[in-house]
Structure 1
Amino acid sequence: MLLNLARDRRVLFIGGKGGVGKTTVAAATAIGMASEGRRVLLVSTDPAHNLGHLFGRDIGPSRVRLAPNLDGVELDPEQTARQHLDEVGTALRRLMPAHLAGEVDKHMALSMDTPGMHEAALLERIAQTVEEGLQEYDLLVFDTAPSGHTARLMALPEMMSAWVEGLMHRQERAGRFGDVLRRIGGDDGVGSRVVGNTGATGGRGDRDGQVRELLDRRRHRFVHLRAVLGDPAVTAFVIVLVAERLPVMETIELHAQLRRAGVTVGGLVVNKRSPEDAGEFMAARARQEQVYLQQLVEALPDLPIEEAGLQAAEVVGVEALAAFAGRLRDAAGAASRDAPTTTPRA
């Protein structure tokens, strides 16, 4: 199921509760697709940044080659927010009167701790990554932050698009108001003095054009991301979980949140399934897990489920991830929602 989704889509988001193996599943999927000859970009939006640990190397905010046909990048929310505010501050200082530069800096410093700033900055970086990545790669695989953070992030494109469009509308109204004042006051009249001499570089028309260009670029990115996320032929979200009470409940809630945000959930990966033939202790755990899986099936009857068995050793390094991808490949198409108790395990 998982690799089939990856073959049929251009963008794949892997999410779920913390500690369930999202990064491992995302990395194995990316390696599996890269081994089939597809150009893949693996993107981490999780502040924990486990990609580097899995691949045994530093990754960071610049793309690096992880394996043949596979590049990776880690988007750090804190660094992204700081970079975003630096860019906004530079633009504002260019557009505002010179004597207000100190106020701009003060506003930018305060904005760093504004609720939602990190999410908004990260969303813009994701939007940029999607826009550029779809031109350069066959598949983008996102390893996302834990459920609550990701659900909020998926709902942001709609809100951010509306927010930017509102800013553009107000900027256009301000421009029309300035034109009226200039016509009333004449070239050397009151309107010219009120609207014109701001002290910023360039004339009013130049500054208005720069503001419109900046806002239009942001609006385009958010509109494009919203379209990509809402197109089930392009994007799918895969929820990873373990067969325990809290992860199952959180999965059901995350599925509902993603649906409200217009994001299609393509399937579920139940990771770290206990073996039934490794002693009574593990067999008892497997039976308990099956109870929770049945609750999941009843709550989300239309979603395909793929199971990945508990591994004896940590899945670390390209070879181990490739082997995990091989098990996913062997299990592709074998999972059945009609007979969850007999679903082969990856």
Structure 2
Amino acid sequence: MRTILITGPGGSGRTTVAAATALRAAGEGTPTLVVGADRTDTLGAALGAATGPEPTRITPNLTAWRPDAAARFREDLTAFQTRAANVLDLLGASRLDAEELTPLPGAEELSLLRAVRDAALSERHELLVVDLPPTPRALDLLALPEELRRYLRRLLPPERQAARALRPVLGRLAGVPMPADWLYETAARWDVELAAVEAVLGDRRTAVRLVAEPGPAGADAVRTARLGLALRGLPTETLIANRVLPEAVPLHGLLAQQRKALAEWTDALPVSPVAHLGHDPRGADDLAALAVPGVNTGHPPVEWPVVDRTAEDGVLVWHVPLPGAIRDDLDLVRRGDEVVITVGGFRRIVALPSALRRCTVAGAALRDGELRLRFAPDPQLWPR
């Protein structure tokens, strides 16, 4: 399944663009599912038909869905209490009833990610369009699967499950109870679910469409979004320049800002201007009037190649694309077989490619929107 993730700064019209993208693909004969993330039915308002926790057929080829994060949270926590019944009874803890549970921060994000996973694994649709939250929340959301899997592996390493027979003995020696099998089984199940989400996000058929109004605020938001997405290895397929004013409008200051932003964007990535309709688009006719781009078959993945320059310079060079990055905002730390990259308020811990794990860091440079990390082979680890 082809997946298109759509985000942009708040108020940029990303939900409208998501609805228009899905409607166009469905009109061209592609079975399409559009998933919304907002609590209020902004997606339904754009489509001209109410959407909710159950998939709703909008047209013969278009289905809309807004997952219910509260219901999913109640189901998950109720199941967790059932599995942890013995521990809760030992602690004397009283269980929470499903009716009194309200979602905790992050529950909506997890619900949306699982909905994306479920939709991508379904064979009923060929295209999945996801209306993500505004850009800052969307970038945190896209980072969540990898970060949670990392935490799980550190807190409950899978290899410790092999010592099940020794746990009672170890518990007596340590004087503390050892984690029960159900805890490892729960962690393993979560790891599988998060891995499935990561697989969807990392699929070469998955790409991001940014939505922004051409102007100073939109230009800043796009620069930030491109950097955050690149650090996550997600390709920006196109930038939807939304609500573009016609040149005949007598607003010379706004038109000048618009031209400047469009020129800057066009030099950096594919841009698809969408004209301002003069009102908020509502319903199929208005959405059809928006010239959103069609859906292609795929997009080249973001590559982080390692180039062998040992013959010329004695080093291996790791190329990491970071468009818009500033040297003063960049910080790098190697920790064992990982490197911690912090740039522009974003942070990611990345496992080194296998060849670089046997090397020492020889330097780094940021040029033309690309970080180049130089590694010198460690003679004690490399064969002669």
Short-chain TM bin:
0.7 to 0.9
Q: Distance in 2 between matches of 1:269 and 1:44?
A: 18
Give the structure 2 partner of residue 254 of structure 1. 225
Selected match of 1:223 from 195, 203, 214: 195
Partner deviation per Cα, 1:32-91 (whole Å, 9 max, x = no partner): 111121111100123343112123333112111111111111134455444433333333
Structure 2 residue runs without a partner (length 5+):
297-384
Which residue identity does 1:229 align to in structure 2? L
**Compared CA separation, residues 174 and 225, structure 1 to 2 (3 A):** closer
**Compared CA separation, residues 183 and 86, structure 1 to 2 (3 A):** closer
Give the structure 2 partner of residue 39 of structure 1. 31
Selected match of 1:328 from 287, 292, 297: 292
Q: Is 2:117–2:200's contact at 8 Å kept on the other side of the alignment?
A: no
Q: Is 2:74–2:101's contact at 8 Å kept on the other side of the alignment?
A: no
Give the structure 1 partner of residue 256 of structure 2. 287
Identity of aligned residues (%): 27
Which residue identity does 1:162 align to in structure 2? R
Q: Distance in 2 between matches of 1:181 and 1:151?
A: 40
Shift of 1:317: 1.2
Give the structure 1 partner of residue 126 of structure 2. 138
Give the structure 1 partner of residue 58 of structure 2. 66
Q: Is 1:80–1:125's contact at 8 Å kept on the other side of the alignment?
A: no
Shift of 1:195: 7.4
Q: What aligned pairs does 1:145-160 form with structure 2 within 5 A after superposition?
A: 145-160=133-148
TM-score (structure 1 length as normaliser):
0.72
**Compared CA separation, residues 128 and 167, structure 1 to 2 (3 A):** farther
SS in 1 for 2:57: strand
Higher relative contact order (CA 8 A, sep 6+): 1
Q: Distance in 2 between matches of 1:184 and 1:82?
A: 35
Point out the structure with the larger helix share: 1
Is 1:318–2:284 an aligned residue pair? yes
Q: Is 2:22–2:34's contact at 8 Å kept on the other side of the alignment?
A: yes
Q: Distance in 2 between matches of 1:89 and 1:126?
A: 26
Partner deviation per Cα, 1:120-162 (whole Å, 9 max, x = no partner): 44434433333x33x3310100011111100100111111222
Which residue identity does 1:155 align to in structure 2? A
Q: Is 2:113–2:197's contact at 8 Å kept on the other side of the alignment?
A: no
Selected match of 1:273 from 244, 250, 262: 244
Which residue identity does 2:250 align to in structure 1? E
Give the structure 2 partner of residue 162 of structure 1. 150
Q: Is 1:258–1:265's contact at 8 Å kept on the other side of the alignment?
A: yes
TM-score (structure 2 length as normaliser):
0.66
Q: What aligned pairs does 1:116-135 form with structure 2 within 5 A after superposition?
A: 116-130=106-120, 132-133=121-122, 135=123
How many aligned positions are there? 293
Point out the structure with the larger strand share: 2
Selected match of 1:51 from 35, 43, 47: 43
Structure 1 residue runs without a partner (length 5+):
1-8, 197-203, 333-346
Q: Is 1:157–1:222's contact at 8 Å kept on the other side of the alignment?
A: yes
Q: Distance in 2 between matches of 1:10 and 1:275?
A: 33
Q: What aligned pairs does 1:203-218 form with structure 2 within 5 A after superposition?
A: 208=181, 210-218=182-190
Q: Is 1:43–1:73's contact at 8 Å kept on the other side of the alignment?
A: yes
**Compared CA separation, residues 181 and 211, structure 1 to 2 (3 A):** closer
Which residue identity does 1:180 align to in structure 2? L
**Compared CA separation, residues 181 and 329, structure 1 to 2 (3 A):** closer
